[in-house]
């Protein structure tokens, strides 16, 4: 059995204890999993300490596989290891090492020893693809580790928070929860139906107006993300009713509950959308601009107005007018990727409509920034600094994927298929300015579209910032230089 080695080392600008604890907390696995190849946790027990186990469902190419791993050789603030018990490799041992580099930085090293199935034939056929997969995955892992820790260590108030969250199962919620928990915060999910046993979950029923304020005692922050998906299917009268009521009833209940709490939360973060402005062609829009005249504009206006009880109680309320949030896990990008990957992508209508986009990690980062910025309140545009036209977006996504984008989806076809939703979502032009967010001190992880797409899709992720000592090494165990394998013997 021919064994291979892969080593990735990066200098992280955080004390070794902080970096180790980040890896040890709940949510680290989710944060470290690249979004282009997500995993589903089937079960886990014992964390990263000796005897801890995890079972995951993932895909290797088009093939779904179950991966079971066991942890061993745990040494706090120094290392931990996991081995494959069941999975696609003939052999897999992953060593995570943490070496102090002064008092405020450390060297993070991932050391993998693995063997491919199928003997010499499997090794010959799969070696290059696996190495490419590992390079992309660990570029991402080290980048997200460095950036998350920079956010957590950069807070003005470093004390742990208790955060109540609606919309926990949505794309934003599933990214936000592990970001918060790896930072040492406690998350209470507001769920419809009966909470899971031994969980922190709290039941709520927006339609019936039920939410127990006493169950949220001690909550520092409320983040409200729940709402009916607006971007799927035609907008029938029933669908439009659900869209409006899911936002106004839910927001009103959250706001009234926050107003009754003693003490009240320090801040209420409410999701909204740039649909507030409506279709405005090439006009550059900021938070002081008027509401549009579209259905979505009406929804967003009512959505934000429903939070008034919290404002009246003196609670700081922030409305995040979120742009087109990019993630391969859901939303617009997820719907476009299958066509673009097979070379069938193209612009929509004229392609002149502006798309005010934002990477998913910057949506999460903005929520965290809003929590920690007491001077920030009211509406805040959550879009990257450089909106692009649909034509530019199409060309950039095609280039990142290495695929042509020769096609055009006619406007008439969009209208025929989706009606009013087609006019107000894919054909609408909203060019939004992020000046208020930038002026408050937020710095985007991914300010340009190509960089954001490469990061999200694992296409030659750029080196993590402020880490000039990042390196990766690959090779067989027999051929690797002694300096790379000495400590593994």
Structural domain boundaries in the chain: 4-153+466-488, 162-341+357-388+434-457
Q: Could you give the CA distance from residue 372 to residue 374 in angstroms, rounded to a whole number?
A: 6
Q: Give residue-wise pLDDT tens across range 159-176.
A: 999 999 999 999 999 999
The dihedral of CA 166, 171, 175, 176: what is its sign? negative
How many Å apart are CA 84 and CA 429, to the nearest integer? 49
Percent helix, strand and coil across the chain, each to the nearest 5: 35, 25, 35
Cα distance between residue 487 and residue 419, in whole Å: 63
Phi, psi values for residue 86, rounded to 5°: -145, 135
Q: 3-class DSSP state for residue 46?
A: coil
Q: What is the pLDDT of residue 2?
A: 83
Please tell me the predicted confidence (pLDDT) of residue 198. 82
> Maximum distance among all alpha carbons in the chain?
70
- 292, two tokens: 């549009």
Who contacts 333 (Cβ-Cβ below 8 Å, separation ≥6)?
326, 327, 456
With a cut of 90, say whether residue 127 has pLDDT above it: no
Distances (CA, A) of 153 to 14, 20, 164, 184: 8, 14, 22, 11
Residue corresponding to tokens 């922190």: 200
What's the confidence (pLDDT) of residue 418?
86
Cβ contacts of residue 242 below 8 Å, gap of 6+? 228
- CATH of span 4-153+466-488: 3.30.530.20
The architecture in CATH of the region 162-341+357-388+434-457 reads 3-Layer(aba) Sandwich (3.40)
Of residues 315 and 486, which shows the higher confidence score? 315
The DSSP symbol for 254 reads H
Contacts of 270 (CB under 8 A, 6+ apart): 224, 251, 254, 303, 304, 307, 317, 318, 319, 320
Is the pLDDT reported for residue 325 higher than 80?
yes
Rounded Cα distance, 218 and 269, in Å: 17
Instruction: Flag whether pLDDT at 293 surpasses 80.
Output: yes
Paired with 109 in beta bridges are 9, 97
- For the stretch 50-97, pLDDT in tens is 999 999 998 877 788 999 999 999 999 999 999 999 999 999 999 999
Query: Taking Cα atoms as reference points, which of 37, 28, 32, 230 lies closest to residue 132?
Result: 37
Yes or no: say if 297 and 290 are a contact pair by the CB < 8 Å rule: no
Question: In whole angstroms, what is the distance from residue 330 CA to residue 347 CA?
Answer: 20
Residues with Cβ within 8 Å of 250's Cβ and at least 6 positions away in sequence, in order, are 166, 206, 224, 226, 227
């Amino acid at each position: 059995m021919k064994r291979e080695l892969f080593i990735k080392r990066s200098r992280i600008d955080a004390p070794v204890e902080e970096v180790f604890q980040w890896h040890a907390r709940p949510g680290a696995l989710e944060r470290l999993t690249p979004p282009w190849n997500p995993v589903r946790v089937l079960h886990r027990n014992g964390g990263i300490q000796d005897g801890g186990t995890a079972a995951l469902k993932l895909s290797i190419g088009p093939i779904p596989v179950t991966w079971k791993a066991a942890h061993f050789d745990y040494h706090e603030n120094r290392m931990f290891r996991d081995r494959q018990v069941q999975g696609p490799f003939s052999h897999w041992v992953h060593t995570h090492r943490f070496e102090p580099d002064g008092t405020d930085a450390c060297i993070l090293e991932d050391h993998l020893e693995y063997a491919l199935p199928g003997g010499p034939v499997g090794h010959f056929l799969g070696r290059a693809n696996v190495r490419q997969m590992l390079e992309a995955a660990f570029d991402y892992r080290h980048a997200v580790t460095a950036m998350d820790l920079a956010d957590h260590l950069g807070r003005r108030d470093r004390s742990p928070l208790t955060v109540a969250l609606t919309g926990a199962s949505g794309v934003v919620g599933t990214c936000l929860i592990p970001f918060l928990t790896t930072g040492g915060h406690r998350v209470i999910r507001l769920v419809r139906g009966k909470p899971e046993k031994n969980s922190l979950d709290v039941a709520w029923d927006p339609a019936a107006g039920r939410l127990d304020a006493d169950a949220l005692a001690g909550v520092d922050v409320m983040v409200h993300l729940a709402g009916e998906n607006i971007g799927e299917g035609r907008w029938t009268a029933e669908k439009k009713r659900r869209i409006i009521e899911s936002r106004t009833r839910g927001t009103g209940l959250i706001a009234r509950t926050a107003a009754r709490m003693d003490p009240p939360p320090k801040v209420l973060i409410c999701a909204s959308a740039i649909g507030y402005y409506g279709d405005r062609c090439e006009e550059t829009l900021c938070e002081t601009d008027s509401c549009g005249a579209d259905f979505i504009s009406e929804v967003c206006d009512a959505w934000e107005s429903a939070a008034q009880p919290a404002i009246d109680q003196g609670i700081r309320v922030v409305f995040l007018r979120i742009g087109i949030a990019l993630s391969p896990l859901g939303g617009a990008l997820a719907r476009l990727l299958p066509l673009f990957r097979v070379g069938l992508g193209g612009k929509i209508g004229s392609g002149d409509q502006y798309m005010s986009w934002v990477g998913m990690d910057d949506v999460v980062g903005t929520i965290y920034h809003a929590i920690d910025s007491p001077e920030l309140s009211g509406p805040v545009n959550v879009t990257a600094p450089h909106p692009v036209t649909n034509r530019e977006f199409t060309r950039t996504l095609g280039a990142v994927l290495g695929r042509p984008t020769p096609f055009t989806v006619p406007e008439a076809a969009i209208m025929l298929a989706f009606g009013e939703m087609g006019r107000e979502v894919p054909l609408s032009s909203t060019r939004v300015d992020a000046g208020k967010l930038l002026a408050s001190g937020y710095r985007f992880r991914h300010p340009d579209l190509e960089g954001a797409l490469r990061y999200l899709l694992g296409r030659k992720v750029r080196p993590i910032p402020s880490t000039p000592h990042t390196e990766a090494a690959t090779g067989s165990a027999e051929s690797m230089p002694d300096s790379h394998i000495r400590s593994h013997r």
